[in-house]
Amino acid sequence: MPLSDLFKKSSPKEPQKDNPFGSPELQKQRYDAAMEVLAVLQEYFLAPDGRDHAGTVLSTAAWLAGTSLYRSLNYRHNPAPGTVVLSDEVNEEWPKLMRLFMYYCQRNGISFTPEQLVLTPPDEHKPRMEILQVQEKFQDRYNAIMKKHGLDDRDGARAGMIVCSVLFQYHCTSVKDIDPLVAAGIVSMGIVAGAKTAPLPLGSGNSMDNASEEKAMNNNRLVLGEPDAAIQDALDNGGVFVDIHPEVLRTLQAGNIDPYLVYEQALLAQIEKKISRIDFVQADVDQLFAEWNGKPEREIPIHVRLIIWLKNNAKTHGYEQSGNSWVLK
């Protein structure tokens, strides 16, 4: 049975205001593009016994959709492939894709809530490829298929949710080789990873050079400091950095919302992932702490407030200060 038969093509009965489904014509474009992507993935992953590895193919589909979302955000910077970009825009946009995926799953008979998902898959379901390998092998074809059907990067990500839902349906109800909550968790985390990971350039194929590989391998560090300095260091040397889009920043300021909260949540997210180190660049941590500690919060620069937070809280999370860095012990 073709995988396309698992996807119910009836038009969703949803309100049209702010409707992510779009017009019937757009829905058909996304469906047709998704079926072409499925054919590509089947051709590559299908094993001689007629089955593929569920965790790998689900991760692949989710990473490609997330990468398409990443490209739609038009970042100002061009980080090395593999660099993790912590963006508030992604935090706003990826749940919309996940809701679309959940809708398709529900329409095909499986319902779940985000709280039920298993976000850390068992070892047997962990992907057997890395995200840069997937981009290297598939992103050019994925992008070409979307353009062929007249879809921009945002709709390319939405088409990816159809791909994910078909693969989910196949593995969870046809061959039953993975638990639905594990499979949905893989899709959820894959979308986030794809949307927050700087991809290889389109058309690069196997052309990632040694310098790019070194930067990609150096991503187990969070780079903080004055925004421009931190971003430039991460771009030059590899690492995770926080970049608030100017429009998001203006929206926060207009709502009298402290932008520091975005940075604090980004820091906490990396600490929860047990990132190896947190580096402050072009900053003397102890001097800044002595100069600013105890002053009104709104007067303190954001990167200094992060220093104060780490001074007070890092040890409880397993980090120890080493010069201008905090290192996981």
CA distances to 36, 37, 74, 223 from 148, rounded to whole Å, are 11, 12, 21, 39
Residue 312 has a CB neighbour count (10 Å cut-off) of: 10
pLDDT for the residue 4: 55
Q: Write out the DSSP string of 257-296.
A: --THHHHHHHHHHHHHTT-SEEEE-S--HHHHHHHHTTS-
Residue 305 has pLDDT above 60, yes or no: yes
pLDDT for the residue 13: 42
* pLDDT-based confidence at residue 20 (cuts at 50, 70, 90): low
pLDDT for the residue 42: 83
Q: Domain ranges in the chain?
A: 3-196, 218-328
Residue 206 has pLDDT above 70, yes or no: no
Percent of the chain with pLDDT over 70: 84
pLDDT for the residue 80: 82
pLDDT for the residue 50: 53
Residue 15 has pLDDT above 60, yes or no: no
pLDDT for the residue 5: 55
Give the mean pLDDT of the chain: 85
The whole-number average pLDDT for the span 298-310 is 94
The count of C-alpha atoms lying within 13 angstroms of the C-alpha of 132, restricted to the half-sphere facing its C-beta, is 19
pLDDT for the residue 235: 79
Torsion angle in degrees (nearest 10) through CA of 316, 317, 323, 325? -150
pLDDT digits (tens, 9 = 90+) for 235-245: 778 888 887 76
Q: Which residue has the higher pLDDT, 69 or 209?
A: 69
The whole-number average pLDDT for the span 44-51 is 65
The whole-number average pLDDT for the span 48-75 is 88
Distance CA 89, CA 51 (A): 37
Question: How long, in residues, is the chain?
Answer: 329
